[in-house]
Chains A and B, each alone.
Chain A
Amino acid sequence: MAQMTMIQAITDAMRTELKNDENVLVFGEDVGVNGGVFRATEGLQKEFGEERVFDTPLAESGIGGLAVGLSLTGFRPVMEIQFFGFLFEVIDSISGQLARQSFRTGGRYNAPVTIRSPFGGGVATPEMHADSFEGIVASQPGLTVVIPSTPYDAKGLLISAIRDENPVVFLEHMKLYRSFRQEVPEEAYTIPLGKADVKREGTDLSIITYGAMVHESLKAAEALEKEGHSVEVVDLRTVQPLDIETIIASVEKTNRAIVVQEAQKQAGIAANVVSEITERAILSLEAPVLRVTAPDTVYPFAQGENAWLPDANDIIETAKKVLTF
């Protein structure tokens, strides 16, 4: 075991898989000798060579095309999109091509591609860096969308993503990269995709969340605990497909739920979670399932982030509405 930040755990997962499978290739803008703009690929080119870990021209769409082509020749690409705000340059390769590769070839070709990309607010990035666009990829059949919130989850989920035979979008929240350390096993281990994790057990209310909001929810749960409310925090970890079993089991136990996301109300995946709960557990509900989200504006100018991003206080407020409904 070693104490690792999330970014170190991510590097460690890629190192593990580069070692484990010679078909794994890591590429993107500045991921080679530079080690990535966040040091996520630090040391990998030196260890595995330029054939395995390499830089690309500055063109996201071309990077997506490389991933498609390399997967057709039997490789297992791990491509990086420097910031997920640049998704729109490469959305055809991801949603129009990779996601459909198995389907449109009747299963003849699959696309074992991992798309790594940082996103998320709270670190005052310039425009189109922090946007939460997971809802866009989550709506595309053929894609799995993973968002870890801890170093331990990040490593196990990334190894699973790389080993998966189908395309996986792996979104890394920038604020969580170095915000805390955690014990992470040094050997390879996997966490199944599509499986949520109960980060805190409780009996009065379920908070269903992912990404940086997991930590805000845990803070809120602690504050609520002091006021006598027992709160369960479910970290989705995979936002598509949802872990229906864990979500419903939690709601059936607590009878009250809120869904918390950093994305705007009209975006993200919170509405999907609410729908699944109402379809499957309405008779267990003592109150409507409310959402904590950002407002439906464009992602804010950097100095407005604090006022705009949802935080523990917003969660507490919404939780109380549901608890006292």
Chain B
Amino acid sequence: MAAKKEKQFDPVKTLHSIEEQFEMFQILNEEGEIVNKDADPKLSDEELTELMTRMVYTRILDQRSISLNRQGRLGFYAPTAGQEASQLASHFALEKEDFILPGYRDVPQLIFHGLPLHMAFLWSRGHYLGSAFPEGLNVLFPQIIIGAQYIQAAGVALGFQKRGIKAVAMTYTGDGGTSQGDFYEGINFAGAYRSPAIFVVQNNQYAISTPRELQTAAKTLAQKGVAAGIPSILVDGMDALAVYVATRDARERAINGEGPTLIETMCYRYGPHTMAGDDPTRYRTSDTDNEWEKRDPLVRFRKYLEGKGIWNEEKENEVIERAKEEIKEAIKQADAAPKQKVTDFMKIMYKGDMPFNLQEQFDLYTEKESK
């Protein structure tokens, strides 16, 4: 047998060299210590407490939403606990004029962008007034078709670019969503047009029961940005500061005309996929749960802020009480929404006149509803 020749080209080496580029970006470790001083965004005390407030509020919102769902007072609900840093610190880097195209788990970002809480509850219940957003609120409804929000974000970003508006389109999907064609087309279109889009992949380890490793042999999801030729970054998604910095920098590049960025946030959802009967104990061990609970974004951010002397139990309890109050109030407001009629649905089908078929049916249902 002839001696093995030195390979002229080694695709395995190429792959490894790409994978090595995607080290996890972290600023706060699990103990709430700054481990990357150069990257510290040096947020003001006020900003830091505001971010903590939003994360605590959202954890309570999640707990209350699960319980309201169990009481039958909410409908579709996709739990968010564990993803507070990923969701809210990324949103914290946005401005009001930025446009959010959320996935179905991304309701908290909408709320802090300005969506009234009772509308989020109406959306959960399945009421059209839940996504009849107030004028000036730059968001779309939570997208159910996984991947669709990505190609649409490329379109919104191109729209801003054409209008010369210094704003970004930000969209979110999960780890499973990176397997969709629209995921790839979205980042690729935005790359080709150098549009101001920020694509966030919240890698919470599972797509319903399917583990992340079954989606792709790629070592990271961030490296999928390479296929679109766009900058991408792998971030500790349980670290609010790292998520914030990654998003802030992506936004800056975007509005400076440097195109889109893909951000993978490595995080975890503590709860089930949705409240529609998913049981995570079928596919997840409590060891894994416990391991991720140690990395809880609230725990480490709390430690960090307490260390700075700007957070304490009293402050946290105030937020919790306020959240509970506002949730109660919002549920009441949602309860007060008028019952939906078929004629309501017909009225929102088209802008302008109804087509003949619908007008005919409208007259029929108007009569039915008057009885």
Contact = CB atoms under 8 A, between A and B. Distances in A.
Contact of B156 (A73, A107, A141): A73
Contacts of B192: 57
A62 to B, nearest CB: 4
A203 B145 CA distance: 51
Contact of B131 (A62, A71, A104): A104
Contacts of A322: none
Given A65-B148, A65-B182, A166 B352 contact: yes
Interface in B204-242: none
Contacts of B158: 66, 69-70
B351 A66 contact: no
B4 interface: no
Contact of B351 (A64, A96, A110): A110
A57 B229 CA distance: 14
B185 A61 contact: yes
Interface residues on B, range: 35 or more
A120 B246 CA distance: 50
Nearest to B192: A57
Interface in B117-151: 128-129, 131-133, 135, 140-141, 145, 148, 150-151
A194 B157 CA distance: 34
Most chain A CB atoms below 10 A, which of B131, B185, B345, B348 = B185
B357 interface: yes
A70 B350 CA distance: 18
A267 to B, nearest CB: 20
Given A73-B159, A241-B356, A65 B154 contact: yes
Interface string B321-361: 00000000000000000000000010111111001111000
B189 A56 contact: yes
A135 interface: no
Interface residues on A, range: 35 or more
Contact of A68 (B133, B152, B181): B152
Interface string B159-174: 1101100000100000
Given A72-B159, A73-B159, A241-B357, A62 B154 contact: yes
Interface string B184-202: 0110110010000000000
Contacts of A51: 162
A165 B192 CA distance: 29
Contact of A72 (B152, B181, B185, B345): B152
A226 interface: no
15 contacts: A62-B151, A62-B154, A65-B150, A65-B153, A66-B189, A68-B152, A70-B159, A72-B99, A73-B162, A74-B163, A104-B128, A105-B133, A106-B131, A108-B135, A244-B356
